[in-house]
Amino acid sequence: MTKSTTDSRARETADVEQRDVAFARSAPRYGRLASWIVVLVIAANFSWLVATNPNFEWHVVLQWFTEGSVLSGLKVTLGLTVVSMVLGTLLGLLLAVARLSDNRLMRGLSGLYIWFFRGTPLLVQLIFWYNMSTLFPKITLGIPFDGPIFASWNTNDLITPLTAAIAGLALNEAAYMAEIIRAGLQSVDNGQVETTQAFGMSRARALRRIIIPQAMRSIIPPTGNQLISMIKATSLVSVIAMGDLLYSVQSVYNRTFEVIPMLMVAVIWYLFITSILNVGQSFIERYYSRGVRRSVSATKRRQPPADSKTTPMVNRPLVRKEDV
């Protein structure tokens, strides 16, 4: 075989390989397609069984879904969620700051609070608050150890089902929010804290203007989960005769004995609310992560080539002069 013949065959082989690469296509993924078909068939079959099962009594669900007593219970659920979440977040912020304080007493008290309220069931806490008058018939304000009393109130006048529900939900939520906020504050680079000290900013102002805004990227996702959990946790207040959504549907099926359709009313409302909260959470997460996305994009744009010997730019601190 001559050298020219060998060279021509080598060129033809190279051309064939090049053409094969140029027109190459990924192999069909039959396994993935089959898995999609199986999942869709199972989902369609389950949906069909639920929709056509007469035991669900969907006509009863439609009848009571927007009924006045159910909507009234829904308003109570939403109100309890908002009030308890706001109070729990504010108290949790104070507990988180105390937990990170240099004061040993503040750290100890904050840790004791978190240990107790995270270590006991929420249902038990609600029942204790509701039955507070059994332990303390009167709430007094005065000097301790049998000193003079300045004011006194009947516990039953202060601890109603509403106040018991708010106290139980908010105080329990504060323990969890304290740990979430503490983790978020600790996620901020220590250089930011040192920079605020170099500018002479007070600790409170540094938290408000520099640290907390940066920590929000780490705080928002678990806080959204806690808010969704709070929506569902409000159903526990039905045991203390608080007229929330679950208590409202229970009152109906105790009269009509239509247990399953009334529970489906509550389930659909809970799913609807949590779905809206999920969408809102995603928007808030994108809002607080917009600076990170811009920073990453800018870094990629100004990143030098691999063979370049230029020194990369050093990121400037996030503390601005106007924040001081």
Percent of the chain with pLDDT over 90: 44
pLDDT by residue (tens digit) across 211-230?
A: 888 888 888 888 888 999 99
Q: What's the mean pLDDT in 125-139? A: 89
Burial 179-200 (b: 16+ CB within 10 A, else e): bbbbebbeebeeebbebbeebe
Higher model confidence: residue 233 or residue 142?
233
What DSSP letter does each residue of 105-172 carry, written as one string? HHHHHHHHHHHHHHHS-HHHHHHHHHTHHHH-SEEEEE-TTT--EEEEEEHHHH--HHHHHHHHHHHH
In the chain, where the domains are located: 56-289
Looking at residue 305, what is its pLDDT?
Answer: 52
**Is residue 320 pLDDT above 60, yes or no?**
no
The contacts of residue 152 (CB under 8 Å, 6+ apart) are 138, 139, 140, 141
Residue 11 banded pLDDT, cuts 50, 70, 90: low
Least confident of 104-113, 137-146, 245-254: 137-146
What DSSP letter does each residue of 167-210 carry, written as one string? HHHHHHHHHHHHHHHHHHHHTS-HHHHHHHHHTT--HHHHIIII
φ, ψ of residue 174 to 5 degrees: the values are -60, -35
Looking at residue 313, what is its pLDDT?
Answer: 45
Q: What's the mean pLDDT in 146-152? A: 79
56-289 CATH: 1.10.3720.10
Looking at residue 323, what is its pLDDT?
Answer: 52
Nearest partner of 204 among 312, 276, 97, judged by Cα? 97
Q: What's the mean pLDDT in 132-143? A: 84
pLDDT by residue (tens digit) across 249-287?
A: 999 999 988 999 999 999 999 999 999 988 888 888 787
Give Cα 183 distance to the centre of its chain: 14
The contacts of residue 89 (CB under 8 Å, 6+ apart) are 173, 174, 177, 181, 223
pLDDT by residue (tens digit) across 160-218?
A: 899 999 999 999 999 999 999 998 888 887 777 777 777 777 777 887 787 888 888 88
Q: What's the mean pLDDT in 39-58? A: 91
- Euclidean distance between CA atoms 119 and 175, whole angstroms: 10
* Mean confidence (pLDDT) of the chain: 82
- Give the N- to C-terminal CA distance of the chain in Å, as an integer: 84
